[in-house]
């Protein structure tokens, strides 16, 4: 994901000056800003560069854990930014949206028989009842096509793992 200096500094919990210093030390720049615009960085390349930089120093266990933490935090923030930019939508949000849309469609479909009766007065009640029955059968079948319980459970567990590793709650 492409980010500017300020976003990169926020991701790693450092100052913009620290990012500039890292750049002098070889931090990869995707494109240099011109006419007052900020430099752009590829977060994946930056993370790889930081990992390699830390490995090139000595392999202190605390530094290794810190690197893993920083990478995990960067990954989580990247996913959150994708969510904010609507590139990645949370399951619960999509499930809620789908539920609302389903209710709207159901309500409209259920009005079809009475609309037909009003529009075409020659249709008898038996035909209207038959149409109503068929619409309800279709709608009942539609309800059964919800996300399977095992997949839903996996998605919920994934969200919880993301919350735990990030130290926040996705709502």
- Number of C-alpha atoms within 13 angstroms, CB side, residue 76? 21
Q: Considering the entire predicted model, what is its pTM? A: 0.34
- Give the number of other Cβ atoms within 10 Å of residue 96's Cβ: 11
4-58 pLDDT, tens per residue? 988 988 888 888 898 888 888 889 999 988 888 888 999 899 988 888 877 766 5
Q: Rg for the chain (alpha carbons), in Å?
A: 27
**Which has the closest alpha carbon to 44: 11, 66, 10?**
11
Does the pLDDT at position 168 exceed 60?
no
Q: DSSP for 105-151, please give it.
A: HHHHHHTHHHHHHHH-TTS-HHHHHHHHHHHHHHHHHHHTTSPPHHH
- Number of C-alpha atoms within 13 angstroms, CB side, residue 119? 7
pLDDT at 40: 92
DSSP state of 86: T
């Amino acid at each position: 994901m492409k980010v500017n200096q300020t976003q990169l500094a926020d991701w790693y919990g450092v100052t913009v000056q620290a990012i500039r210093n890292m750049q002098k030390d070889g931090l990869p720049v995707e494109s240099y800003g011109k006419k007052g615009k900020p430099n752009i960085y590829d977060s994946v390349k930056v993370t790889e560069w930081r990992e390699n930089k830390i490995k090139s120093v000595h392999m202190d266990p605390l530094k290794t854990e810190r690197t893993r933490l920083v990478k995990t935090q960067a990954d989580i923030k990247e996913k959150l930014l994708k969510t904010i930019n609507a590139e990645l939508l949370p399951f619960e949000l999509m499930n809620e949206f789908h539920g609302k849309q389903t209710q709207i469609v159901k309500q409209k479909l259920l009005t079809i028989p009475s609309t037909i009766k009003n529009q075409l007065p020659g249709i008898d009640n038996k035909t209207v009842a038959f149409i109503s029955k068929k619409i309800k059968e279709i709608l009942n079948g539609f309800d059964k096509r919800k996300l399977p319980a095992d997949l839903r459970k996996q998605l919920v567990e994934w969200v919880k793992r993301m919350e735990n590793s990030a130290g926040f709650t996705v709502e």
